Amino acid sequence: MITIGTLALQGDFAEHEAMLRRLNVNTRQVRSANDLTGIDGLILPGGESTTFCNLMQNFDLYEPLAAVVRSGVPTWGTCAGMIVLARHAGDLEFPTLGALDIEVSRNAYGRQVESFEADLSVAALGEPPFHGIFIRAPVVLSVGPGVNVLATVTGGSLRDSPVAVRQDTVMATSFHPELTNDERFHAYFLDIVREAGSSVGK
């Protein structure tokens, strides 16, 4: 059975785990490099990106996480996880993993009180539209030529921008699918995992 690791240092990893269990896959909380051994996929959840990176540094997880992504293990970052995976996050005081050829700006949609929801057209998921929940979400400023844009939010000066992207086996969303009852994004990620057919240590 597939085992998905969720980085469990901070943020809403428990909500991802609950969604994955509904889809009948094993989950493992990742807090050390040893926890990465043998996983088939990895999720970096939402949270506060500065705190997230500080904890990654304190737990000596930067290089182990980067190695997992480089090895081809499918990885998905949501909200803060997108920031951590990006090639560049201009206002982040910590390094990123540089796994996605995107540039992001943290919290550019606004503060907590300016969080919003939007129905998104996602061709990879089919109909109906996916209801996106955006909480202090990062804005994708640019994407590289190898990045496939899965969804774009429209309306407003900052909202005509990508909010879901994929590059090979790495995916990121600026919104929180784990806070909905819609399992389709998690199922889509599991399809990526199955197609990759790889895990650390094999």
The set of catalytic residues is 79, 176, 178
Q: How far is it, in rounded angstroms, from Cα 87 to Cα 124?
A: 24
End-to-end Cα spacing for the chain:
14
Residue 202's CB is within 10 A of a number of other CB atoms, namely 8
Task: With beta carbons less than 8 A apart as the criterion, state whether 79 and 137 touch.
Answer: yes
Q: Are strands 3-7 and 41-44 parallel, antiparallel or unpaired?
A: parallel
Q: How far is it, in rounded angstroms, from Cα 142 to Cα 148?
A: 12
Task: Tell me the angle at which helices 49-58 and 62-70 cross, rounded to the nearest 10 degrees.
Answer: 100
Q: How far is it, in rounded angstroms, from Cα 183 to Cα 193?
A: 15
Task: With beta carbons less than 8 A apart as the criterion, state whether 140 and 165 touch.
Answer: yes
Residue entry with tokens 């129905």: 119
**3 state SS of 22:** helix
